[in-house]
Structure 1
Amino acid sequence: MEPYQNAPTGDFVLPFDVVDAGVRGRFVRLDATSARALSVHALPELAARVAGEVLALSALLGSALKLDGRLTVQTKSDGPLDIVAADYYGASGGKPKGVRGFARLDDEVTLAEKPLFAALTGAGSLAITIEPVRGGQTYQGIVDLSPKGIAASAETYFEQSEQLPTLIRLAAAPVFTPGSKEPHWRAAGLMLQATPGVRRGADDWDRLSSLAGTVEDLELLDTTLTAETLLWRLFNQEEVRVLPAEEITFRCDCDGERIATVLKSYTEAERANLADADGVIRAKCEFCGTVHEIGKARLS
Structure 2
Amino acid sequence: MAFDLKDFGVEPAGFDAVRPFAVEGLDVRGRALVMGPVIDNILSRHDYPAPVSRLLAEAVVLTSLLGTALKFEGRFTLQTQSDGPVSMLVVDFSAPESVRAYASFDAEQVADAMARGATRPEDLLGRGHLAMTIDQGQHMQRYQGLVELDGASLEEIAHRYFARSEQIPTVVRLAVGELLTPAAAAGSTHRWIAGGVMVQFLPDSTERMRQADIHPGDAPEGTEAHVIDEDDAWLEAKALVDTIKDDELVDPDLGVEHLLFRLFHERGARLFEPQKVQDRCRCSRERVEGILSTFKAEEVDAMREGDKIVVTCEFCSTRYEFDADNF
State the TM-score, normalized to the length of structure 1: 0.90
1:59-98 mapped onto 2 (5 Å cutoff): 59-91=64-96, 97-98=97-98
1:232-247 mapped onto 2 (5 Å cutoff): 232-247=261-276
Question: Quick one: which of 126, 129, 139 aligns to 1:125?
Answer: 129
Between the aligned residues of both structures, percent identity stands at 35
2:14–2:255 Cα contact (<8 Å) kept: yes
2:122–2:154 Cα contact (<8 Å) kept: no
RMSD between aligned alpha carbons? 2.1
Distance 1:270 1:134 in 2: 28
Distance 1:268 1:76 in 2: 30
> Could you give the per-residue CA deviations for residues 138-163 of structure 1, whole angstroms, max 9, x where no partner exists?
11101012523111101100001111
Instruction: After TM superposition, give the deviation of residue 296 of structure 1 in Å.
Output: 4.2
**What corresponds to 2:321 in structure 1?**
293
**What corresponds to 2:201 in structure 1?**
194
1:95-110 mapped onto 2 (5 Å cutoff): 97-109=97-109, 110=111
Indicate the SS of the match to 1:40: helix
1:40–1:286 Cα contact (<8 Å) kept: no
1:84–1:103 Cα contact (<8 Å) kept: yes
Q: Which runs of 5+ in 1 are unaligned?
A: 92-96
Distance 1:17 1:43, change over 3 A: same
Instruction: After TM superposition, give the deviation of residue 65 of structure 1 in Å.
Output: 1.9
Instruction: After TM superposition, give the deviation of residue 250 of structure 1 in Å.
Output: 0.5
Bigger mean CA deviation after superposition, 180-189 or 25-34: 180-189
Alignment pair present for 1:272 and 2:272: no
2:13–2:19 Cα contact (<8 Å) kept: no
1:58–1:73 Cα contact (<8 Å) kept: yes
Distance 1:5 1:280 in 2: 54
2:304–2:324 Cα contact (<8 Å) kept: no
Indicate the SS of the match to 1:99: strand
Distance 1:172 1:243, change over 3 A: same
Instruction: After TM superposition, give the deviation of residue 60 of structure 1 in Å.
Output: 0.5
Distance 1:30 1:256 in 2: 29
Indicate the SS of the match to 2:115: coil
Distance 2:293 2:66 in 1: 36
1:22–1:198 Cα contact (<8 Å) kept: no
Alignment pair present for 1:40 and 2:24: no
Instruction: After TM superposition, give the deviation of residue 198 of structure 1 in Å.
Output: 4.4
Count of equivalent residues: 291
Distance 1:118 1:292, change over 3 A: same
Which amino acid letter does the alignment assign opposite residue 309 of structure 2?
I
Instruction: After TM superposition, give the deviation of residue 80 of structure 1 in Å.
Output: 0.6
Question: Quick one: which of 23, 27, 35 aligns to 1:30?
Answer: 35
Bigger mean CA deviation after superposition, 135-144 or 74-83: 135-144
Indicate the SS of the match to 1:39: helix
Alignment pair present for 1:223 and 2:252: yes
Indicate the SS of the match to 2:252: coil
